[in-house]
């Protein structure tokens, strides 16, 4: 039997890329590879890239330049680029960086074993198609190894919203939902292997409309079916779009005990003018009314959001509209960015806001978000929460897990083990985490 080859995957970006990297590793397992955490030991290095963040492509090229050194030491090393930068850049990656052997888009990575066989023959391999076949169905089954207590599960990919700043419709393609039976089979398999919490993933996950035996299912209907899976204790989903937050999903937040009281609901801006320029298809008031309805269904829900500052034509008044919206909603978490142009998107042709002004706005917005996060964390002191323990802490006898609100919680002197779901009383609010003590059973 041939020696097992080593595969190193570096993952950039969102949870969907984390899930994709897991599936890539499984696909390559069938080609005789096993994972390694050390790039210097690898026979193949894959960069699973994201095109959302600023200067994403430049960062990938910089990393590829660094990896050339590994190839100099090991001429048999194969280097590949996967994900959204691979989809967007295609042949340009191979032209700019000859050390790259393989480029594969996010809809084609089920073909990795065939591409690997090709590069072993000394050829280059490029596949950025949007194939008709279901990549998840083509991938080999997940191995039956024991899993940690949490897992991601992709249920929907692509986007039809065409926000003016976003490359996802071009790199991930149109919205596609996976069939219900395949999702349920994968979820049950994960639970059999030790998973107690599943996060359902999609670029617009609440636009899910997968086909079941009785027609198309909504995300809420899928959640209620997952609620019946014995051993699955927690359900989350991300990332959602305000326009797809339907009545049944709002109701599920108030009535489904396994659906956690945490919702990521990006708004991007509080200015109607900027929202229109962004092609967001919702306005400030409709978003605020939606938040009211969600909180009426689940008063303790923790909301997180996304914000872009310095979008073309944003004035100080527009920015203040965003700050006022943040003040009104009160976010427990948020992700905020300074606008950066993405070639090929409608906004790329527009005049930029002064960089210094955009940076100042970002700092002010992040200061407000940090203040709100801290206030909400401080309000947790004295409350009892449910913690799913995921790993040991930094100190002996310490365990770390996540509350139902997705707060990191550290507990000392506990008999809890990884995978336990236990009641904890919060006694201290720290920077980006909480400290608690076990509540006796």
pLDDT single digits (tens) 378-420? 999 999 999 999 999 888 889 999 999 999 999 998 899 999 9
282 burial type by CB count under 10 A (0-12 exposed, 13-18 middle, 19+ buried): middle
Lowest mean pLDDT among 133-142, 296-305, 426-435: 133-142
Alpha-carbon span 81 to 96, nearest angstrom: 13
Model pLDDT, residue 1:
39
- Sign for the pseudo-dihedral over CA of 177, 183, 187, 189: negative
Q: What is the mean pLDDT of residues 251-277?
A: 98
256 is in an annotated binding site: no
Q: Residue 163 annotated as binding?
A: yes
pLDDT score, position 139:
61
Residue 89 CB: number of other CB atoms within 10 A? 22
Residue 261 has pLDDT above 70, yes or no: yes
**Domains of the chain (ranges, CATH numbers):** 5-127 (3.40.50.12160), 141-379 (3.80.30.20), 384-438 (2.40.50.140)
**Residue 14 annotated as lining a ligand binding site:** yes
Residue identified by tokens 């609440």 is: 206
166 labeled part of a ligand binding site = yes
Burial class (CB in 10 A: 0-12, 13-18, 19+), 356: exposed
pLDDT in tens, 312-360: 999 999 999 999 999 999 999 999 999 988 877 889 889 999 999 999 9
**Is pLDDT larger for residue 140 or for residue 178?**
178
For residue range 42-99, list pLDDT tens digits in order: 999 999 988 766 566 788 888 888 888 888 888 899 999 998 888 888 888 888 888 9
- C-alpha–C-alpha distance, residues 398 and 381, integer Å: 19
How many whole angstroms separate alpha carbon 170 and alpha carbon 167? 5
Which of 30-39, 145-154, 179-188, 389-398 reaches the highest mean pLDDT?
179-188
pLDDT band at residue 370, thresholds of 50, 70 and 90?
Answer: very high
- Per the prediction, the chain carries an average pLDDT of 91
Q: Cα Rg for the chain, rounded, in angstroms?
A: 23
Question: Averaged over 242-257, what is the pLDDT?
Answer: 97
3-class DSSP state of 380:
coil
């Amino acid at each position: 039997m041939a020696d097992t080859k080593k595969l190193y995957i570096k993952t950039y970006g969102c949870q969907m890329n984390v899930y994709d990297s897991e599936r890539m590793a499984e696909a390559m397992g069938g080609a005789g590879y096993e994972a390694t955490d050390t790039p210097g030991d690898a026979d193949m290095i894959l960069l699973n890239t994201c095109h959302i963040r600023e200067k994403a492509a430049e960062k990938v090229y910089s990393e590829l330049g660094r990896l050339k050194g590994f190839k100099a030491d090991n001429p048999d090393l194969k280097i590949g680029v996967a994900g959204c930068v691979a989809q967007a850049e295609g042949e340009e990656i191979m032209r700019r960086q000859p050390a790259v052997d393989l480029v594969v888009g996010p809809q084609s990575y089920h073909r990795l074993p065939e591409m690997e066989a090709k590069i072993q023959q000394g050829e280059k391999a490029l596949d950025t198609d949007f194939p008709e076949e279901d990549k998840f169905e083509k991938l080999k089954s997940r191995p039956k190894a024991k899993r940690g207590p949490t897992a991601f599960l992709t249920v929907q990919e692509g986007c039809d919203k065409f926000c003016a700043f976003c490359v996802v419709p071009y790199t991930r393609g149109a919205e596609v939902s996976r069939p219900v039976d395949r999702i349920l089979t994968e979820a049950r398999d994960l639970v059999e292997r030790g998973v107690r919490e599943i996060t359902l993933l999609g670029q617009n996950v609440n636009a899910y409309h997968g086909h079941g035996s009785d027609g198309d299912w909504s995300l809420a209907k899928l959640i209620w079916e997952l609620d019946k899976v014995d051993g699955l204790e927690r359900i989350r989903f991300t990332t959602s779009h305000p326009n797809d937050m339907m009545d049944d999903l709002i109701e599920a937040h108030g009535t489904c005990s396994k659906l956690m009281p945490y919702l990521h609901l990006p708004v991007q801006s509080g200015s109607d003018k900027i929202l229109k320029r962004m092609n967001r298809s919702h306005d400030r008031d409709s978003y605020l009314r939606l938040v009211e309805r969600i909180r009426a269904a689940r008063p303790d829900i923790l909301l997180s959001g996304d914000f872009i500052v310095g979008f073309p034509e944003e004035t100080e008044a527009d920015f203040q509209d965003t700050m006022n919206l943040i003040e009104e909603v009160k976010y427990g978490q948020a992700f905020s960015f300074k606008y950066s142009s993405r070639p090929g998107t409608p906004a790329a042709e527009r005049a930029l806001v002064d960089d210094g002004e955009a940076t100042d706005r970002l700092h002010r917005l992040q200061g407000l978000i940090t203040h709100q996060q801290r206030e909400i964390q401080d309000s947790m002191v004295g409350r009892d929460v449910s913690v799913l323990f995921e790993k040991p802490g930094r100190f002996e006898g310490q365990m770390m897990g996540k509350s139902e609100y997705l707060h990191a919680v550290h507990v000392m002197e506990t008999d809890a083990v990884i995978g336990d779901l236990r009641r904890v009383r919060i006694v201290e609010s720290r920077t980006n985490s909480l400290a608690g003590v076990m509540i006796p059973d």
